[in-house]
Amino acid sequence: MKFFALSAASLPLLAAAHAGADFANPHAKLPRQAPVNSAPAPNAVTSQSTNAAPAPTTTPPPSPPAGSQTTSAPSAPGTTVPGVPPPVTPPTVPTTTYTFSLDATNPTAVPLSEIVSTAASSATRPLDTTFTPGSVPTFLPGAPPLPNAALLSPANYPKLDTPPPIDSPEVQQWIKEVAASGVQIPNIPPNNLGGCPNNTAAAADPSRCWWTCGGCTRPADVTDCPAPMTWGLTYDDGPSFYTSDLLNYLDQEKLKSTFFVVGSRVISFPATLQTQYMSQHQIAVHTWSHPQLTTLTNEQIIAELGWSKKVIKDVLGVTPNMMRPPYGDIDDRVRAISAAMGLTPVMWTRISPVATFDTDDFDIHGGLTTVEHVLQNWENIIGNVTQRNSGFIVLEHDLFQQSVQVATGYILPDALNHKPPFTIEPVVTCLNKPLSDAYIETNDNKTNPPAQSGAVPTLSSGAPGSVQATKGADSSSAGESVRLSSGLVAASLTGVAGLAAGLAALL
């Protein structure tokens, strides 16, 4: 996939990404610049917001140790009078101003002021359509009838949101299948938690092609759509309580998406997954418990991917052949295991070592960013899109109500009214393949060779078309945190954060 680089100076402020509690610098982001598309279109909705908290562009200073005192900066000359206390200057509250212009919004959109981390959970709409067991997905030639989701028994699966044990008969069988696949698994040790700053040698080793730290990709990675102005629409981390809201909107607008689903969520929302699938959206793998895959052993990676493939197959009758690594955390070891298990990695578009097409929508729920910031990120993304000679893929989520509200109320209506128009479609079809090529059971192996036999990542460094991490200097950090919401355990998505001078500065 094509790597289209812009200099940092020409970027109209791209989002950085998420970050997490276990990363050293969770919020190092590009400096804010004027957005490209600042002139409102006719009938445009222009929003301007100033907010003081959170301050997403800075890392909060560490708290002083207990018992320490705050030392005031010296007063300017001439401002003090002996015996008279100097005038009290209010503390400076960091403010961030976002200005963005949307071509359209949904008339029923939740007001921006209500899309906040503290919002009460909204009522969810029922699914527009549910499907009875035995329904036949006639849009997928050769697909089996829909299984009976009511028969799904959580007792037959690993504990939710926990890395599955590797000693089960199922995982042992998958380990044998990977060994028999013929795919060579590179001898790369698992990374430490903590991303690039906590894995300096790995981050500086281009032979690992660790996407997190600098954006290295291999030819088999999907990072964008080939055709200009084409958006490979994706949503991660569901299904959830709020996926039905998104599905209803997508139905209304006749849009199809790719959903990277977490196996633990599939256990909780099997009917939702069936509706997604039967509505001709693409279903793909996003692991069982949403870990950083490069931190796991080979066997643990196999367990994460294997159980998520299995639960999807049990609910839908078909098995996806695409995956997205949580946090985008992939290196050549994870690539090889994925290929051996028939899974092609799908990332999101990155236009420089430090800038990716991440709306940061996930972080509204946790209070780490604001909806205005997310819409600013979105405007910056589409400002870059028109300059690209290929399409693009954006990171968004359907786990929390805030990210669904910003998608259905603002981002998608804006995209649908963009001029020139976008082609919005699932990743598999943006790659000029039929939807049936998205599942192992219905894939045409002639036109879409399975990953393990045809599109195996080139595991040597410097492969043609690859983009190498630059010796640590271009490293970025990714983050993760695990949070609870509505009884769901979720994880924030990764972020890009480091700047070139970066790795050292991040430590």
Give 326 or 450: the residue with its C-beta nearer to Zn ion: 326
Least spacing, CB of residue 399 vs Zn ion, in Å: 8
User: Which among 64-72, 172-180, 212-220, 234-242 is the span making contact with Zn ion, rule CB under 5 A?
Assistant: 234-242
Least spacing, CB of residue 87 vs Zn ion, in Å: 50
Which of 224, 236, 245, 398 is an active site residue?
Answer: 236
Query: Please, which residues bridge with residue 101 across strands?
Result: 46
Give the DSSP per-residue string, 399-433.
SSHHHHHHIIIIIHHHHHT-SSPPEEE-HHHHTT-
Q: Burial, 321: exposed, middle or buried (Cβ in 10 Å; 0-12, 13-18, 19+)?
A: buried
Give 326 or 502: the residue with its C-beta nearer to Zn ion: 326
User: Which among 8-16, 235-243, 299-307, 350-358 is the span making contact with Zn ion, rule CB under 5 A?
Assistant: 235-243
Q: Using CA atoms, how far apart are residues 385 and 256, in angstroms rounded to an integer?
A: 20
Q: Using CA atoms, how far apart are residues 145 and 35, in angstroms rounded to an integer?
A: 49
Least spacing, CB of residue 491 vs Zn ion, in Å: 6
| Rg from Cα positions in the chain | 23
- Indicate which single residue of 237, 332, 358, 480 sits in contact with Zn ion (rule: CB under 5 A): 237
Catalytic residue status for 363: no
Give 260 or 439: the residue with its C-beta nearer to Zn ion: 260
- Indicate which single residue of 236, 331, 398, 414 sits in contact with Zn ion (rule: CB under 5 A): 236
Give 205 or 329: the residue with its C-beta nearer to Zn ion: 329
Query: In the bound complex, which residue of the shown chain has the CB atom lying closest to Zn ion?
Result: 236
Query: Please, which residues bridge with residue 352 across strands?
Result: 355
* Residue 296: both structure tokens together: 């796991």
Q: Using CA atoms, how far apart are residues 110 and 406, in angstroms rounded to an integer?
A: 8
Q: Coil, strand, or helix at residue 176?
A: helix
Binding residues among 315-344 for Zn ion as defined by CB under 5 A? 326
Least spacing, CB of residue 30 vs Zn ion, in Å: 22
CB neighbours of residue 391 within 10 Å: 23
Catalytic residue status for 358: no
Q: Using CA atoms, how far apart are residues 352 and 14, in angstroms rounded to an integer?
A: 10
Q: Using CA atoms, how far apart are residues 382 and 380, in angstroms rounded to an integer?
A: 6
The residue type of 168 is S
Give 328 or 413: the residue with its C-beta nearer to Zn ion: 328
CB neighbours of residue 59 within 10 Å: 16
Least spacing, CB of residue 400 vs Zn ion, in Å: 12
Using CB under 5 A as the binding rule, whether residue 414 contacts Zn ion is answered as no
Least spacing, CB of residue 21 vs Zn ion, in Å: 16
Which of 27, 281, 373, 397 is an active site residue?
Answer: 397
Interface size with Zn ion, residues (CB under 5 A): 4
Q: Note the residues at the interface with Zn ion (CB under 5 A).
A: 236-237, 326, 493
Catalytic residue numbers read: 236, 397
